[in-house]
Amino acid sequence: MVPIKNIAYYISGHGYGHYARSIPVLRQLIAGFNVHIKSEIQESFFTKLLTGDFKYWSQSVDTGCWHSSSLEVDSEETFKCFQEFQNRLMIEAEKLWLKQNQIALVLSDVASMPVKAAHDVGIPSILIGNFTWHDIYSHLPGAEEHQHLLQMLEEEYRCADLHILPQCHLPPLQVEKSKEVGFLAQKGQDIRKGLEQHLDISFAGKTLVFIYLGLLGTNSVLWNNLSQHKDCLYLTRDPIEQSVPGLHILDDRFNFPDLIASVDVVCTKGGYSTLGSAFANHKPVITCERHDFYEFEAIRKYLLKTQTGVIIADEDFYHGNWQPAIKTALNLTVKDKVPLNGEIEILETVHQMLS
C-alpha cells in the first residue's frame, strides 16, 4: 500500500482573502493527502468549512500590508514590519519542521518564506497567487529606499518550482515557471427566501446589493446617502454602526458565498476573493479604485476586458452615490465569461508533481 503523502499549505494572514480562496483548494487536497495548514487565521475558520482530517499550525507566515484604512496602505509601517519578519532563524526553523514532518510538497498563498525553506531542503513548492508581495511592495511610496529587502523577497519567490496564477493576475516574476488557472472561489447557495423571513421584509421589486468593505472600510462611506435609493436593499456583514433605512447588518449565521449568491449586485473594495465569489455565483460587481494596492491594476483591466463589473469614481463611492453604477451593473452578464474551478487544475498539478 502506497503511503499517503504529506503536504504543507501556508496561507497569508493578510485579511481573509487568501484564506477564502484557499478553501476550495484545500477541499480538493484533503481528500487525498495528509494536509498541514500553517496560518495565523484562526483554526475555527477552517474547521467550519473543511470536512475531513487536517492538521492546523498557528503561525505567522508573512506580514502582508499594514493599512491606514481598508483602501489605503501605510507604506512606512509595512516596510518596518516586513524587515522585522525577515529573520534567518525563522527560515532555519521552517526547514527543520519540513524535514521532521516528512513534507513532500509545499504550497503557499502567497508567502515567500515557505518556498525558500522548501527550496533549501530540496522539497518542491508551488506558489499560488494573482500577485506577490514583491509586486505590492515595489509600488509603495518609499520602495526605492528598501531595494535590499525587495531583492531578498524576489530571490525567495524565485525559489518556487511553479507559480499558479489564478485569473485576474499580475505578470509573474518567472513566466517560464508559471501556469494560469481559473478563479479560486467559493460558490454559495441562494438563501433569498430565508433572508426575507429573517429580516421580515419583502424583496419584491427591490434590487439586492451585498456590501463588503472589510473591518477598516466602514468609516469611509457616507452611509446615510444609501437611504435615497428606494429601489435598493443593502445587505452586509461589515460592522457599520449607523442605522440606515434599507441597510441591513447580518451576523455570521449567514456566510459570504451564500449572501453573494442571493443578491443581484456585489459592492466591494476590489479584493480578489470577493470578486471571485461574485463571478462564481454569476453576479456583477461594483468597486472603487485602490490606488495604494498595485493588485488593482490587474483587477481594473480584467473588469474592463470581461465587462463583469463597474468601477466607480472615488468621490461617488465614498459619498454613497452608487445608483448609476448599480443600474449599469444590472445590465451586465457574468455567466460563462470567466474561467472558474482553478482548484481542480491545481489538484491535477499537485498529482503531476508528486507522481
- Write out the three cell numbers for 132: 506577490
Q: Is the pLDDT of residue 293 over 90?
A: no
Residue 154 placed within a domain:
yes
**205 and 176 housed in the same domain:** no
Report the domain count for the chain: 2
Strands 72-73 and 34-39 come out as unpaired
72 against 257, higher pLDDT: 257
Rounded CA separation 346/320 (Å): 39
| Cα dihedral: 330, 335, 338, 344 (round 10) | 140
**23 and 147 housed in the same domain:** yes
**161 and 284 housed in the same domain:** no
Residue 256 placed within a domain:
yes
Residue 335 placed within a domain:
no
Which DSSP helix (H) or strand (E) runs through 306? helix 295-306
**209 and 178 housed in the same domain:** no
**215 and 76 housed in the same domain:** no
**What integer pLDDT is reported at residue 15 of this predicted model?**
81
**What integer pLDDT is reported at residue 325 of this predicted model?**
97
Residue 127 placed within a domain:
yes
Q: Is the pLDDT of residue 217 over 70?
A: no
Q: Which domain holds residue 316?
A: 192-330
The 10 Å Cβ neighbour count of residue 68 is 12
Residue 1 placed within a domain:
no
Query: What pLDDT, in 10s, does the model give residues 4-38?
Result: 999 999 999 988 889 999 999 999 999 999 999 99
Q: Is the pLDDT of residue 286 over 90?
A: yes
Q: Which residues pair with 106 in a beta bridge?
A: 8, 125
Strands 178-180 and 247-249 come out as unpaired
Rounded CA separation 257/266 (Å): 11
Find all residues with CB under 8 Å of 50, minimum gap 6, and list them.
Answer: 23, 26, 27, 30
Q: How much of the chain, in percent, has pLDDT values that exceed 90?
A: 86
Which DSSP helix (H) or strand (E) runs through 9? strand 6-11
**180 and 198 housed in the same domain:** no
Which CATH number characterizes residue 25's domain?
A: 3.40.50.2000
Q: Is the pLDDT of residue 261 over 80?
A: yes
Query: What pLDDT, in 10s, does the model give residues 179-216?
Result: 999 999 999 999 999 999 999 999 999 999 999 988 66
Residue 106 placed within a domain:
yes
Find all residues with CB under 8 Å of 71, minimum gap 6, and list them.
Answer: 217, 220, 269, 288, 290, 291, 292, 293
**C-alpha angle 316-321-323 in degrees, rounded to nearest 5:** 130
**40 and 173 housed in the same domain:** yes
**Distance between the two ends of the chain, CA-based, in angstroms?**
15
Query: What pLDDT, in 10s, does the model give residues 146-179?
Result: 999 999 999 999 999 999 999 999 999 999 999 9
Residue 292 — very low, low, confident or very high, per pLDDT cuts 50/70/90?
confident
Q: How far is CA 248 from CA 22, 141, 199, 201, 233, in A?
A: 29, 37, 8, 11, 8
Which DSSP helix (H) or strand (E) runs through 353? helix 342-354
Rounded CA separation 27/9 (Å): 12
Residue 178 placed within a domain:
yes
Q: Is the pLDDT of residue 71 over 70?
A: no
**323 and 345 housed in the same domain:** no
Q: Which three-class secondary structure state does DSSP give residue 165?
A: strand
Burial class of residue 135 in the structure, from the number of CB atoms within 10 Å of its CB (0-12 exposed, 13-18 middle, 19+ buried): buried
**147 and 260 housed in the same domain:** no
**212 and 106 housed in the same domain:** no
Q: How far is CA 36 from CA 104, 120, 178, in A?
A: 11, 19, 24
Rounded CA separation 65/82 (Å): 9
Task: Lay out the sheet containing 103-109: strands in order across.
Answer: 55-58, 34-39, 6-11, 103-109, 125-128, 162-165, 178-180
Q: At what angle do helices 147-157 and 113-120 cross, to 10 degrees?
A: 60
Tell me the pTM.
Answer: 0.95
Rounded CA separation 96/104 (Å): 14
Rounded CA separation 24/186 (Å): 6
**What integer pLDDT is reported at residue 314 of this predicted model?**
87
**37 and 175 housed in the same domain:** yes
Which DSSP helix (H) or strand (E) runs through 234? strand 232-236
Determine phi and psi for 311, rounding to 5 degrees: -100, 125
**What integer pLDDT is reported at residue 291 of this predicted model?**
78
Residue 336 placed within a domain:
no
**18 and 126 housed in the same domain:** yes
> What single letter denotes the amino acid at residue 58?
S
